[in-house]
Amino acid sequence: MSNLQQTLSIIKPDAVERSLENEIKEMFKSKGFSILKEKKIQIEKFEAEKFYKVHETKAFYNDLCAYLSSGPILVMVLEKENAVLENRKLMGATNPKDAENGTIREKYGISIEKNSVHGSDSVENAKIEIDFFFKD
């Protein structure tokens, strides 16, 4: 049965700063993702705090929000069968040093914070995150 899904992907400041957007987009396309929408923006820290609200009790929350708002990011809506899980597989583990060969974070991630990409972790959060950046 078809299970076409959309998910939110962010190419984070560390990757945009190194001009890796096209290489990362090619990795998505070569795995069969369609990029339905994309925009390059820089967000304010209070917006990053809202986006990452689920992590507000974590010790790394403040640094994480400062980092996401520190430079331009590329936000995208990706579509594919089982896009949420497939994107998480392609990104690899949160910490690049644990990420499997061939994943985006293994190839480009610098640290657990500067891990190059974000992807929604569930279908429900994908809807919330897509609305966060693309609701018109």
Q: What is the x/- site pattern for ligand CMP, positions 70-109, by CB under 6 A?
A: ------------------------x---------------
At 118, list the tokens.
């974000």
Q: How far is the CB of 60 from ligand CMP (least distance, A)?
A: 4
What is the sign, positive or negative, of the torsion defined by CA atoms of 92, 89, 12, 27? positive
Q: How far is the CB of 79 from ligand CMP (least distance, A)?
A: 19
94, 103 Cβ separation under 8 angstroms: no
Q: What is the x/- site pattern for ligand CMP, positions 33-62, by CB under 6 A?
A: ----------------------x----x--
Q: How far is the CB of 108 from ligand CMP (least distance, A)?
A: 13
At 26, list the tokens.
């090619």
118, 43 Cβ separation under 8 angstroms: no
Task: Check residue 125 for interaction with ligand CMP (CB under 6 A).
Answer: no
Chain positions contacting ligand CMP, by CB under 6 A: 55, 60, 64, 94, 112-113, 115, 118
- The residues assigned a catalytic role are 118
